[in-house]
Amino acid sequence: MVGPKRPQFVLFGSSIVQHSFYDQGWAAILSHLYARKADIVLRGYTGWNSRRALQVLQDIFPKDATEQPSLIIVYFGGNDSVLAHPSGLGQHVPLQEYIQNMTKIAIYLKKTRIIFLGSPPVNEPQLLGNSDLLGRPFRTNESCRIYSEACLSLCRDLNIKAIDIWSAIQRRKDWREVCFIDGIHLTAEGSKIVAKEILKVLKEAEWEPSLNWKSMPIEFAEDSTYDPIAPDGKTTINISGSPFHGDSEWD
């Protein structure tokens, strides 16, 4: 544990979360913008579905923890939506069970400010080995849409903030060419879309205190004689809140 204590934003989900610092990913963008304001904490697990998330929910977010997150961003659904295997093994979770699982997760976390991310699209032509022996695809963009809409619907019912990533990415005309590394996981361009959608929700949310990156206090922002010397040679310049290259893109 290090100090001083900062707000924590926990990202909880499958590989879209685990790899969200990779290649200018959306977690990396958040970490940059919230530097000296909040800590971005990753709890991402490649391959997981909502069943596995529910199994460990109390271990990751214990109710008796002395410190609770200021924000939790949750993503599960893409793996749940894959083609069911006859054995019952694998990642697939039937739609109604997925809705039940995500509802339980939401209710458990609801005392904390939370944002759910709906499933992103997939670029089917880019996927390798995306079919079983009968030629049926394991993942389809249509199944992602169905699970995304189910997630968004339950969030409306529970009055939880949610982001329609499936639609947001496809609003870009060249999304198939620029948004995916492998048809599933996001490039820097895809992550920019996710980050902008999250930042929009945080800016518009009527939460007190605000979690908008431009509104949160900066750690150790007081003036200091150790700051860079001003042109007059007699004073110093406080640069704790100085914008960095490209920050204006996220205003």
Radius of gyration of the chain (CA): 20
CB atoms within 10 A of CB 104: 14
Catalytic residue among 31, 92, 148, 185: 185
Catalytic residue among 182, 215, 223, 224: 182
Asked if 158 and 106 count as a contact pair (C-beta separation under 8 A), the reply is yes
- Helix, strand or coil, per DSSP, at residue 32: helix
32 catalytic? Reply is no
251 catalytic? Reply is no
Give start and end residues of each alpha helix (H) in the chain. 15-18, 26-33, 50-60, 95-109, 141-158, 165-170, 175-178, 188-204
C-alpha distances out from residue 36 to 30, 165, 214, 216, Å:
12, 28, 12, 9
Asked if 163 and 204 count as a contact pair (C-beta separation under 8 A), the reply is no
210 catalytic? Reply is no
Active-site positions? 14, 182, 185
